Amino acid sequence: MASGKNIYVENINDIPTPRGKIELVERKGIGHPDSVADALAETVSRALCKMYMKEFGTVLHHNTDETQIAAGKAAPRFGGGTIVNPTYILLVGRATTDVIQNGKLNELPCTPTALKAAHGYIKETFPNVDPDADIILDAKLGMGSDDLTGVYKTSGVLANDTSFGVGYAPYSITDRLVLETEEMINSPAFKKILPETGQDVKVMGSRVDNKLTMTIACAMVDRYIPDKTHYAAAVEDLYNRVNENALNIIDKSGEDIDFKLEINTGDNYDNDVYYLTVTGLSQEMGDDGSVGRGNRCNGLITPYRPMSMEATSGKNPITHIGKLYNVMSKLIADDIAAKVSPEVEVKVRILSQIGKPVSQPLNCSVQLVSQEVDAGKLNKWKSEAEQIAFDWLDNVDKVTNLIIDGKVRTF
């Protein structure tokens, strides 16, 4: 155990998840309602952080992790449909809305800052959405309670909750295929090639032994699709490009994978059932969204790996364990995996206590899962893992800065 940090490293003699019989991995793309909620919550948090730092040189208490999306109503049709009722988005959370300086009350522009940041994200990210007409954007940011804001008023950074964060590394071939497929489809370069594809892209990977099936649901944008024939051709084009990219990833990995791809399996051309949308987002009709119901901070949903139910996006990056420890756990796991062996599955879990220093968790558990039996290697890995965990916990501010600068993902 590392002195003062309660770090426990253990070697687990077992089959790592990527070598197990079954693996399931999911990613909700950037246009999924839950991901939109995550993105807006995080965008607002970062905007508030920058506003606070500009005004006071430090980040003040806030949490914007309760953003809600209520679906609208749309009438998609080949050649271009219409939005009947706009989507309603409510930015909800707590923030430091006023500060007393030299006996004078200074009120802060928290709500305008939040609305401007959210509007900018929507406009920049979703080109088929008119943020002024297709969406009703609202914000309700109230002052935080004294018992939680109090952790900002003490010396040192103290945890605002008794909670835990988890992470693992490295990514398996299933992880990589799911993540990189969604990122490719939603890249600006791909949209120039195939604008018919919307941003609401959900990817599910299922591996049984070496047989890997990837199922994709991709919203299609009606204004670029004049008829049924064009729709079918666009889906076929999408299939061919995704399949080629996936086979390239598999080939470079050196894995023996029997790959199968299926796209928009809910379509039924004979019955005129198509995944057709006006904006490329399913939130335009029928699908609501909430922060924390989608991807974890590694960008994936992984039922065969350790996961936290905490929402990472929107929580403050100074004291909120639900954010800091989830992000830090992944960073620790990544560094350990890079240091030891790609055959080792690294699992990290960090637990806090409210009011205690963030840099000194109640415990930090690191598990190194492998079938290695060489005692020398195992002891070396344990020592390296402990030092890496210690260094990250001793430099919590690095994690905070990475979050504020947008250099780590939260969904």
Looking up tokens 């990122």 gives 183
pLDDT band of 3, cuts 50, 70, 90: low
pLDDT for 364-375, tens place per residue? 999 999 999 999
pLDDT in tens, 249-266: 999 999 999 999 999 999
Contact predicate 399/317, CB 8 Å: yes
Interstrand relation of 276-277 and 258-263 (parallel, antiparallel or unpaired) = unpaired
Arithmetic mean of pLDDT over the chain: 95
Of the listed ranges 51-65, 210-224, 269-283, the least confidently predicted one is: 51-65
Q: What is the pLDDT of residue 154?
A: 45
Under the banding of pLDDT at 50, 70 and 90, the label for residue 150 is very low
Q: Cβ contacts of residue 328 below 8 Å, gap of 6+? A: 165, 167, 350, 392, 393, 396, 399
pLDDT given at position 100: 87
Sign of CA dihedral 6, 405, 340, 321: positive
